[in-house]
Amino acid sequence: MKVRYLHTMVRVKDLDKSIAFYKLLGLEETRRIVNDKARFTLVFLAAPGQPDTPVELTFNWDGDDGLPSDSRHFGHLAYEFENIYDICASLQAAGVVINRPPRDGNMAFVRSPDNVSIELLQMGPALPPQEPWASMGNTGHW
């Protein structure tokens, strides 16, 4: 059996706000589909040079009132970064809450504007513990 990963889809309530969040992670828009008849927009974003592994943002123009309010049943998206401290500092400066700080120099979690858990991982070995992250507690759930 041959299988190929295509993408991960998450529903979003505010397309522009969500695109801005994923761009903070370094993702770039690779494709957009606007369906006037079915009243939805799909935006695919991927890490530079990795267009075959996108996240698909699905925006239903008329809303998603019937969907669960917490996306915990989904799990999380995971991205790897050259320096976990730098990405966390950049996200925090942009107003993103670091729900699980990178105390271990290896892993952190944040939430998207639509409550999707995003795991941030250090490329290669963990970095040495560093303040303010080493002593920072969790905020909310991740």
User: Which residues participate in catalysis according to the annotation?
Assistant: 119
SS3 97: coil
Q: Are 78 and 55 in contact (CB under 8 A)?
A: no
- Could you give the C-alpha distances from 5 to 8, 62, 72, 73, in angstroms and in order? 9, 29, 22, 20
Q: How many C-beta atoms surround the C-beta of residue 97 within 10 A?
A: 12
Query: Could you tell me which of 70, 74, 137, 71 has the C-alpha nearest to residue 108?
Result: 137
**β-strands 28-35, 40-46: how paired?**
antiparallel
Whether cis (ω within 30° of 0) applies to the bond prior to 132 is yes
SS3 10: strand
